[in-house]
Amino acid sequence: MTALLQSTAQINILVVDDTLDNLRLLGKILESQHYTVLKSLNGKMALQAAYRNPPDLILLDINMPEMSGYEVCQQLKTSEVTATIPVIFISALDQANDKVRAFEMGGQDYITKPFQELEVLARVQNQLLIQQQKRQLQQEIETRKQAESEAQQLNTLLERLNADLERQVQLRTLELRQALNFEVALKHISDQVRDSLDQHRILQVVVETLAKTLEVRCCDTALYDANHSTSTIRYQWVKPGSNATQGQMLYTQDFPELYKQLQNRICFAFCQTQPSSIRNHSATLACPIFDDQVDQVGILGDLWLFRATHSSFRESEIHLVQQVANQCAIALRQARLYEAAQAQVKELKRLNQLKDDFLSTISHELRTPIASMKMVIKLLTTVTNQGQNFIDEISKSSAQDNKVVQYFKVLQEECDRELALVEDLLSLQHIEAGTYTTQPIPVNLQDLLPHLIEPFESRTQHQQQTLQVNVAPDLPTLDLDSRSFNRVVTELLSNACKYTPAGKTISISANVIQNTTATNPVSYLEITITNTGVEIPSEEIPRIFDKFYRIPNNDPWKHGGTGLGLALVKKLVEQMNGRITVKSENNQTCFIVQLALISAD
Residue 288: per-residue pLDDT: 92
CB 127 within 8 A of CB 85: no
CB 41 within 8 A of CB 18: yes
Q: How far apart are the first and last CA of the chain?
A: 78
What b/e readout covers 254-270, taking b as 16+ CB neighbours within 10 angstroms?
Answer: eeeebbeebbeeebebe
Q: CA 543, CA 559: separation in Å to the nearest integer? A: 20
3-state secondary structure of 351: helix
Q: What phi and psi values does residue 86 have, to the nearest 5 degrees? A: -70, 140
Strand partners, 218: 238, 306
Helix residue ranges, H only, 440-506: 445-462, 482-499
DSSP string, 517-550: SSSS-EEEEEEEEEEES----TTTGGGTTSTT--
Polymer length in residues for the chain: 601
Q: Which of 246, 196, 201 is nearest to 220 (CA)?
A: 246
Strands (E), 188-282: 218-224, 230-238, 249-251, 268-271
Q: Which of 436, 445, 453 is nearest to 598 (CA)?
A: 445
CB 422 within 8 A of CB 366: yes
| Peptide bond connecting 114 to the previous residue in cis, omega within 30 degrees of 0 | yes
Q: What is the CA radius of gyration of the chain?
A: 48
Residue 425 CB neighbour total at 10 angstroms: 17
CA distances from 368 to 71, 266, 293, 354, 422 (A): 122, 47, 36, 20, 10
The superfamily CATH assigns to domain 440-596 is: Histidine kinase-like ATPase, C-terminal domain (3.30.565.10)
Q: CA 250, CA 263: separation in Å to the nearest integer? A: 15
Q: Which of 60, 368, 100, 321 is nearest to 214 (CA)?
A: 321
Helix or strand holding residue 171 (H, E): helix 117-193
DSSP string, 59-80: EEES--SSS-HHHHHHHHHHST
3-state secondary structure of 413: helix
Strands 466-471 and 505-515: parallel
**CA geometry: angle at 256 spanning 255 and 260, to 5°?**
125
Q: Which residues of the chain have pLDDT under 50?
A: 278, 356, 359-360, 364, 384-387, 557
Q: Is the dihedral of CA 151, 154, 160, 165 positive or negative?
A: negative
Strand partners, 306: 218, 284
Q: What phi and psi values does residue 474 have, to the nearest 5 degrees? A: -110, 30
pTM (whole model) above 0.85: no
Q: What is the DSSP code (8-state) at residue 515?
A: E
Residue 369: per-residue pLDDT: 67
From its phi and psi, is residue 424 left (phi > 0), alpha (psi between -120 and 50) or beta? alpha
Q: How far out from the chain centre does Cα 240 lie?
A: 51
**Domain 194-327, what fold?**
Beta-Lactamase (3.30.450)
Q: CA 216, CA 57: separation in Å to the nearest integer? A: 84
Residue 557 CB neighbour total at 10 angstroms: 12
Q: CA 482, CA 599: separation in Å to the nearest integer? A: 14
Helix residue ranges, H only, 362-444: 368-382, 389-396, 399-433
Residue 391: per-residue pLDDT: 52
**Domain 8-139, what fold?**
Rossmann fold (3.40.50)
Residue 135: per-residue pLDDT: 84
Q: What phi and psi values does residue 522 have, to the nearest 5 degrees? A: -130, 155
